Amino acid sequence: MEDKFTLYNLKVEVVATDQPMVCGHKEGDYFLVIGEDLIFPETNSFSMYALSAILPLLPAKQRPLHANDWMLSDSLIACPDPNCGARFRITRTGTKEFSHAECTIEPIHKGDQP
């Protein structure tokens, strides 16, 4: 049985707005998401509070979505500090294929079968 699936690779980048950034974010700082891995370039850092706002969205952004799904169109995430003007842009940068068997020991189930 074929067990391959494809996920989008993502880039999450700090974007400036007309409001000041007060959380130490720097425009252009970024990290990558490839599979389940977050990859931070050596010169970039990210606030754990900003990450807490971004992390729940990443698995959905990695997957194919219906053309009308808001997760496809909404790509700017606000910093959770209401006084900070930073935004975080999530961009799909390519795809990577994975094997179900290499990601889990659970067998593949089809539909609603247990």
CA 58 to chain centre: 3
Assigned token pair, 25? 């974010």
Q: Looking at residue 61, what is its pLDDT?
A: 95
State residue 1's pLDDT score.
60
Q: What is the mean pLDDT of residues 17-38?
A: 92
Task: Provide the whole-model pTM.
Answer: 0.85
pLDDT tens figures, 61-86: 999 988 998 888 889 999 999 999 99
Q: How far apart (Å, rounded) are the C-alpha atoms in residues 31 and 12? A: 5
Q: What is the average pLDDT score of the chain?
A: 89
Rg from Cα positions in the chain = 16
- Residue of 70, 61, 75 lying closest to 8 (CA atoms): 61
